[in-house]
Amino acid sequence: MTILDSSIADTPAGPLSMLTGPGGAVRAAGFTADPATLVPLMHPSLRGDLRHRAELGPVTAAVRAYLAGDLAAIDAIPVEQHTGGAFQAHAWQVLRDVKPGEPVTYTGFAELAGRPAAVRAAAAACARNAAALFVPCHRVLRTDGTLGGYRWGLDVKEWLLGHEGRPLPTIGR
């Protein structure tokens, strides 16, 4: 059985649990104090037994740097997710290219992914993303610029976007 290293970082948005595989790539991350709740979000082939670590080396360092204002620090961290198809894998890579402070709409995200008519598929890629923060689905907004949904709560999404320099309207959340 694969061993997944887990760690929890304290953030102003709440605890961020992270799971990494044997090579150090992030397999799952989310704003929860219980890393075990991330396991069902992962593709079955990436799951394993959890081993808690105080830190995850470069992953923890990147989160600290991000929180300290180096918003690009998380970009270099490798992510390992399996998908239901080629579009989803491509969409997750496209999300990693969306810059902090420059959120896109679901329609804009579908366009960036090369399938302008696939707005629902783009939204589904956000919903199925198991590596929150590292694959920044929080940077995707509704067409009217309001928050839309976020697995970890709209307060977390709002904090992340504010931290990245994008104040948001509080109406229509």
Q: State the architecture of 86-163 in CATH terms.
A: Orthogonal Bundle (1.10)
C-alpha span between 162 and 157 (Å, rounded): 9
- Domain definitions of the chain by residue range: 3-76, 86-163
Q: State the architecture of 3-76 in CATH terms.
A: 2-Layer Sandwich (3.30)
C-alpha span between 117 and 119 (Å, rounded): 6
**Does the annotation count 126 as an active-site position?**
no
CA torsion, points 77, 122, 28, 42, in degrees to nearest 10?
Answer: -140
Of 62, 95, 130, 137, the active-site residue reads: 137
Q: Are 162 and 19 in contact (CB under 8 A)?
A: no
Is 93 strand, coil or helix?
helix
What would the two tokens of residue 36 be? Answer: 């075990």
Per-residue pLDDT of the chain (173 residues; tens, 9 = 90+): 799 999 999 999 999 999 999 999 999 999 999 999 999 999 999 999 999 999 999 999 999 999 999 999 999 999 999 877 888 999 999 999 999 999 999 999 999 999 999 999 999 999 999 999 999 999 999 989 889 899 999 999 999 999 999 655 543 43
